Amino acid sequence: MKTILVFGGAGYIGSHTTKLLLENDYNVIVADNLQYGHKEAILTKHFEYADLMDKESLNNIFEKYKIDVVIHFAGFISVGESVENPMKYYTNNVIGTLNLLEIMLKHNVKNIVFSSTAAIFGNPIYTPIDESHPTNPINPYGMSKLMIEHILKDYHKAYNLNYIALRYFNASGCDEDGIIGESHNPETHLIPLILKAIKGEKEYIKIFGDDYETPDGTCIRDYIYIKDLAMAHKLAIEKIENYSGSINLGTSKGNSVKEIIKIAEKITQKTCPIQIDKRRQGDPAILIASNQKAKEILNWTPSYDIEDIIKTAWNWELNKKF
Ligand code: UDP
């Protein structure tokens, strides 16, 4: 049985991946500093409090367990905050990852699956975005992730570190059984905010710009279901000793902000109050992934669609556990 260290396993994508790995009989150790993670989302009995900036806390984990693969989810993720406070992003995301890699290599742990992002591409020059598309991040968040991808590539060459960097497009939805879900504080993501507006918890949803060059003027994104993302991590673990590189993860389909609102209204049978606002800085008009490489390398294809995403997110919104 393989032992997987899920760093950041109390967070949104980390907890859903942990759940899938446990269901597939992996031995899962969750590490988290609980700054943004939720203790209610820790699904394994093996929990270690650890912080990427505290090498001793990292070292203790590798002394205690024989880890086969690390999945590293523990990054800061807010684009706007990264523009205002780049130091926070470069420190945690880049130096924190360097610390983790140093301790891994010290203990001869050579396999890492890394959470990367569509934000490394900046404003796309074509869509769907494949892995040959140039990288040109337009905010410190995306840049911090791209820097780590370069570091992983160099460590692969120099130290035989195996890595798979998974570049998520818009992770969304929640587990169907309602045990875990999406809960960010503050919440900035479109789907939970729409559902909060529908529920009456927010006065309205602000649409950030309706003058983009898209059919209805609102931004188009590639929303990918959280359990499909979790599955990609499981497949990456299985593949990692035979492949190192970066892979885009999306559905190859896009929905506009207005389309998402319509689907949410259909599913909830309620009206969503909206307000048109100005564009949000750093938002490209269209982000859609090509998932050809994910198919070829990981044998991964998404199984859920946008309706599944919004149904499960609505179920969570009505029955939140944290
Ligand atoms: N968006 C919006 N209103 C909001 C939050 C998001 O119109 O209150 C738009 C945003 O401009 C983007 C899309 O919804 O086009 C998805 O944004 P989100 O923050 O969920 O994910 P991102 O694309 O930034 O990763």
As a whole number of Å, the end-to-end CA separation of the chain is 31
Q: pLDDT at position 272, please?
A: 98
Q: What is the CATH number of domain 3-172+223-249?
A: 3.40.50.720
Going from N- to C-terminal start, the domains of the chain cover 3-172+223-249
State the sign of the Cα–Cα–Cα–Cα dihedral 186, 188, 190, 193.
positive
Model confidence at 133, pLDDT cuts 50, 70, 90, reads: very high
Decide whether any atom of ligand 1 lies within 6 Å of the 214 Cβ.
Answer: no
Instruction: Express each pLDDT in 189-236 by its tens digit.
Output: 999 999 999 999 999 999 999 999 999 999 999 999 999 999 999 999
Decide whether any atom of ligand 1 lies within 6 Å of the 217 Cβ.
Answer: no
Instruction: Give 189 Cα–ligand 1 centroid separation in angstroms.
Output: 6
Instruction: Express each pLDDT in 288-302 by its tens digit.
Output: 999 999 999 999 999
Residue 141 annotated to the active site? yes
Q: Which atom of ligand 1 is nearest to the CA of 191?
A: 20
Decide whether any atom of ligand 1 lies within 6 Å of the 156 Cβ.
Answer: no
Decide whether any atom of ligand 1 lies within 6 Å of the 113 Cβ.
Answer: no
Q: Which atom of ligand 1 is nearest to the CA of 209?
A: 7
Which one of 190, 219, 260, 286 would you pick to mutate in the ligand 1 pocket, going by the greatest count of ligand atoms within 8 A of its CB? 190
What percent of the chain clears pLDDT 70, i.e. is strictly above it? 100
Q: Considering 12, 36, 89, 141, which one is annotated as catalytic?
A: 141
Q: Which atom of ligand 1 is nearest to the CA of 257?
A: 14
Q: pLDDT at position 282, please?
A: 81
Q: pLDDT at position 80, please?
A: 87
Q: Angle between the 257-268 and 190-199 helix axes, to the nearest 10 degrees?
A: 40
Decide whether any atom of ligand 1 lies within 6 Å of the 221 Cβ.
Answer: yes
- 145-169 in b/e form (b: 16+ CB < 10 A) is bbbbbebbbebbeeeebbbbbbbbb
Collapse the DSSP code of 65 into the 3-class scheme (helix H, G, I; strand E, B; otherwise coil) and give the result. Answer: coil
Specify the residue with its C-alpha closest to ligand 1, atom 11.
Answer: 208
Q: What is the mean pLDDT of residues 159-186?
A: 96
Model confidence at 306, pLDDT cuts 50, 70, 90, reads: very high
* Both tokens assigned to 78: 């807010």
Nearest alpha carbon to residue 53 among 87, 96, 93: 96
Q: What is the mean pLDDT of residues 296-310?
A: 98
Q: pLDDT at position 322, please?
A: 95
Q: Is the pLDDT of residue 16 over 90?
A: yes
Are 246 and 147 contacting, i.e. CB atoms less than 8 angstroms apart? Answer: no
Are 94 and 146 contacting, i.e. CB atoms less than 8 angstroms apart? Answer: no
The pTM for the full model equals: 0.98
Model confidence at 103, pLDDT cuts 50, 70, 90, reads: very high
Q: Which atom of ligand 1 is nearest to the CA of 172?
A: 20
Q: pLDDT at position 281, please?
A: 83
Cα dihedral 110→18→147→88 (10° resolution): -130
Q: pLDDT at position 3, please?
A: 98
Instruction: Express each pLDDT in 212-224 by its tens digit.
Output: 999 999 999 999 9
Specify the residue with its C-alpha closest to ligand 1, atom 21.
Answer: 189
Collapse the DSSP code of 314 into the 3-class scheme (helix H, G, I; strand E, B; otherwise coil) and give the result. Answer: helix
Q: Which residue has the tokens 């967070």?
A: 11
Q: What is the mean pLDDT of residues 65-81?
A: 96
Decide whether any atom of ligand 1 lies within 6 Å of the 202 Cβ.
Answer: no
Angstrom CA distances, 149 to 17, 46, 55, 116, 144, stand at 21, 28, 21, 8, 9
